[in-house]
């Protein structure tokens, strides 16, 4: 569908990312998924495209500008690659870059940002705990001040990119119960008292490194407190918007890939003496998929433009995320029906995306939380 916000740079950038994915990622997705990991240099190759540097000053290796349409292009092409696990791992840094850039002190920024943006080192954000992820206001990990240090105790769970990461942004309770007592900390992976174990055997995202993080009297300098004490909740909520927008774009790209895969298959496969694509039941499924994809795409464009213009789009982003995940689920289901047995075999994009629907519907804010949040933000 025609994108009314396209211009030469946005198109050139999307073309470049797409070509990269088609050449450097697509041919290896199955292999990496089965292996449960990917070569480290992939981080550097993806980062070299400049896909994570939005809104980060050039002195730290960032782009020095922001553009939601370009952020959308990144998500779309990551999603279209069907390499959800690889992109989740590589992209894990993207959700800790914003708080790092805005809240960390200059020494930490100068040390960590160039490494993270070049892909030399990994980063991860630690919010979710064994006791729950959606209820951010009630996290249990604590940090208490001991002279000029903070001492962290607790656990973080389902931390994407957590095994590779060298740098973490961790949410911990520093004050009273609820949202007003949470602070953010910068933690180096080699800090004494910090350990981690991999979480394996996931439904999808096989190539991604997901971790449980443990903090046992993990001491960090007072300078590692990011931003104001007890003001971390607002930073977390603000940060989620970019993650959710990126996920919505990924889900749209995943849907585009599903559509292309099953059109190609239906054009080739013959049933009842005719090509699959000529059967009305299949054609109607494709029409529905295509209409849903156009709607997701247009919604993304609209939200991107609103944010670009500096307007508040918090409710819209919440709605966008669950709108995309419910549509992705329908698209994945329709695509699987069109592919039939061929789709059910391991090692094809439709099967992989089908397994990755739920991580998109749950991670970064579950559909239930997104619905609740959006009506609340609308003042209802």
Partner 1 sequence: MKILVPVKRVVDYNVKIRVKPDQTGVDLANVKMSMNPFCEIAVEEAVRLQEAGTATEIIVVSVGPTQAQETIRTALAMGADRGILVKTDDDLEPLGIAKVLKAVVEAESPDLVILGKQAIDGDNNQTGQMLSALLGWSQGTFASELGIDGDKVNVTREIDGGLQSVKLSMPAIITTDLRLNEPRYASLPNIMKAKKKPIDEKQLAEYGVDAAPRLEIVKVAEPAEREAGVKVETVGELVDKLKNEAGVL
Cβ neighbours for 168, distance < 8 A, ≥ 6 positions apart: 96, 123, 124, 125, 126, 162, 186, 187, 188, 189, 213
CA 282 – CA 261 distance, rounded (Å): 13
In Å, how far are 11, 45, 59, 117 from 111, measured between CA atoms?
33, 20, 12, 11
- For the CB of residue 281, give the shortest distance to partner 1 in the complex, in Å: 26
Query: Which one of 20, 167, 233, 259 is in contact with partner 1 (CB under 8 A)?
Result: 20
Point out which span in 19-27, 107-115, 149-157, 342-350 binds partner 1 (CB under 8 A).
19-27
Pick the catalytic residue: 44, 77, 107, 243? 243
Whichever of 71 and 196 has its CB closer to partner 1, that residue is 71
- For the CB of residue 12, give the shortest distance to partner 1 in the complex, in Å: 5
Residue linked to tokens 């005719």? 274
- For the CB of residue 356, give the shortest distance to partner 1 in the complex, in Å: 24
Vertex 31 angle, CA 25 and 36, to 5° = 100
For the chain, what is the radius of gyration of the CA atoms?
Answer: 21
44 binds partner 1 (CB under 8 A): no
- For the CB of residue 74, give the shortest distance to partner 1 in the complex, in Å: 9
CA 34 to chain centre: 21
16 binds partner 1 (CB under 8 A): yes
- For the CB of residue 158, give the shortest distance to partner 1 in the complex, in Å: 30
51 binds partner 1 (CB under 8 A): yes
From residue 60 to residue 79, the character string flagging contacts with partner 1 as x (rule: CB under 8 A) and all else as - is: ---x-x----x---------
Whichever of 261 and 316 has its CB closer to partner 1, that residue is 261
Query: Which one of 6, 22, 41, 294 is in contact with partner 1 (CB under 8 A)?
Result: 22
- Long-range interactions of 336-343: CB distance < 8 A, separation 24+: 337/285, 338/262, 338/265, 338/266, 338/276, 338/282, 338/285, 338/286, 339/261, 339/262, 339/265, 342/265, 342/269, 343/262, 343/265
Whichever of 21 and 258 has its CB closer to partner 1, that residue is 21
Whichever of 264 and 378 has its CB closer to partner 1, that residue is 264
118 binds partner 1 (CB under 8 A): no
Whether 59 is catalytic is no
294 binds partner 1 (CB under 8 A): no
Half-sphere exposure of 74 (CA within 13 A, CB side): 26
145 binds partner 1 (CB under 8 A): no
Q: What one-character DSSP code corresponds to residue 60?
A: G
CA 84 – CA 86 distance, rounded (Å): 6
For binding to partner 1 (CB under 8 A), which residues are involved?
A: 8-9, 11-13, 15-17, 19-20, 22, 48-51, 53, 58, 63, 65, 70
Catalytic residues: 243
């Amino acid at each position: 569908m025609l994108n009314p916000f396209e211009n030469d740079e946005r198109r050139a950038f999307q073309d470049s990312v797409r070509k990269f994915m088609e050449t450097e990622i697509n041919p290896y997705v199955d292999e990496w998924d089965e292996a449960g990991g990917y070569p480290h240099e992939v981080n550097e190759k993806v980062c070299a495209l400049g896909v994570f540097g939005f809104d980060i000053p050039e002195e730290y290796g960032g782009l020095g500008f922001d553009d939601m349409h370009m952020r959308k292009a990144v998500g779309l092409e990551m999603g279209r690659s069907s390499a959800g696990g690889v992109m989740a791992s590589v992209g894990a840094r993207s959700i800790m870059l914003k708080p790092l850039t805005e809240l960390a002190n200059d020494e930490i920024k100068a040390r960590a940002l160039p490494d993270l943006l070049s892909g030399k080192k990994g980063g991860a954000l630690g919010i979710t705990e064994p006791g729950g992820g959606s209820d951010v206001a009630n996290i249990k990990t604590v940090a208490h001040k001991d002279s000029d240090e903070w001492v962290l105790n607790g656990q973080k769970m389902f931390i994407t990119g957590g095994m590779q990461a060298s740098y973490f942004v961790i949410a911990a309770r520093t004050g009273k119960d609820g949202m007003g007592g949470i602070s953010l900390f910068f933690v180096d992976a080699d800090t004494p008292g910090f350990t981690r174990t991999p979480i394996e055997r996931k439904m999808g995202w096989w190539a991604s490194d997901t971790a449980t993080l443990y903090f046992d009297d993990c001491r960090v300098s007072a300078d590692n407190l990011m931003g104001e004490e007890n003001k971390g909740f607002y930073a977390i909520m603000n940060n989620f918007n970019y993650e959710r927008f990126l996920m919505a774009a990924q889900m749209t790209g995943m849907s585009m890939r599903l559509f292309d895969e099953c059109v190609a298959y239906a054009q080739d496969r013959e049933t009842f003496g005719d090509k699959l694509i000529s059967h009305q039941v299949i054609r109607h499924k494709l029409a529905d998929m295509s209409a849903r994809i156009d709607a997701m795409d247009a919604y993304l464009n609209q939200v991107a433009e609103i944010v670009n213009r500096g307007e508040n789009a918090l409710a819209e982003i919440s709605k966008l995320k669950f709108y995309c995940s419910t549509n992705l689920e329908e698209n994945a289901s329709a695509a699987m029906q069109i592919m039939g047995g061929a789709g059910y075999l391991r090692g094809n994009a439709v099967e992989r995306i089908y397994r990755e629907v739920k991580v998109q519907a749950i991670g970064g804010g579950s559909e239930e939380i997104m619905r609740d949040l959006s009506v609340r933000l609308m003042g209802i």
